Amino acid sequence: MKQDLEQLKLLAIFHYVVAGMAALVACIPFIHFFMGLALATGALGDSDPGARPVGFGIMAFAAFFIVAGWTFAVLVAFAGRSLQTRRRYTYCLVMAGIECIFMPVGTVLGVFTIIVLMRDSVKELFRRQSGEPSPSPAPTPNS
């Protein structure tokens, strides 16, 4: 049980680190956003009237990716907090699966999180923390 608690603590820390990395990477599209803004406002000196809609389109795509990246970072940080407090087992498991999509760091973190969360002893830790009753053992046939 002590090993499970230590591993959950480490996983929570790594979730915070990955959330920070994801938030930082999500800032990269700001380059595209400001280039689109310059194109839309004519700051580049281009007087082509077709450049404005293209600039606004670039800004929209960049804003979407920034918001999506920051949202993912917040969700990963929340999963780390949930692991730390041993609450929301299903949420942690789902986020671990989603993290696997983001290679290579998210894949490693997601796989290790799934491995730890699938242990019966860890499931019991989450149950105890949430106040759920333990499942009763299956009846054994009398033979």
pLDDT at 62: 96
Q: What is the pLDDT of residues 64-91, one digit of tens each?
A: 999 999 999 999 999 999 999 988 989 9
For residue 138, being part of any structural domain is answered with no
For residue 62, being part of any structural domain is answered with yes
For residue 137, being part of any structural domain is answered with no
For residue 110, being part of any structural domain is answered with yes
SS (H, E, C) the chain: CHHHHHHHHHHHHHHHHHHHHHHHHCCCCHHHHHHHHHHHHCCCCCCCCCHHHHHHHHHHHHHHHHHHHHHHHHHHHHHHHHHHHCCCHHHHHHHHHHHCCCCCHHHHHHHHHHHHHCCHHHHHHHHHHHCCCCCCCCCCCCC
- The boundaries of the domain holding residue 50 are 2-128
Gap between the Cα atoms of 48 and 91, Å rounded: 49
Tell me the two tokens of residue 20.
Answer: 């920070």
pTM: 0.81
Count of domains for the chain: 1
For residue 133, being part of any structural domain is answered with no
For residue 106, being part of any structural domain is answered with yes
Q: What is the pLDDT of residues 94-142, one digit of tens each?
A: 999 999 998 889 999 999 999 999 998 888 888 887 666 666 566 667 6
For residue 141, being part of any structural domain is answered with no
Tell me the two tokens of residue 97.
Answer: 């699966």
Q: What is the pLDDT of residues 2-52, one digit of tens each?
A: 888 898 999 999 999 999 999 999 999 999 999 999 988 888 776 677 888
> Residue 91 class from Cβ within 10 Å (0-12 exposed, 13-18 middle, 19+ buried)?
middle
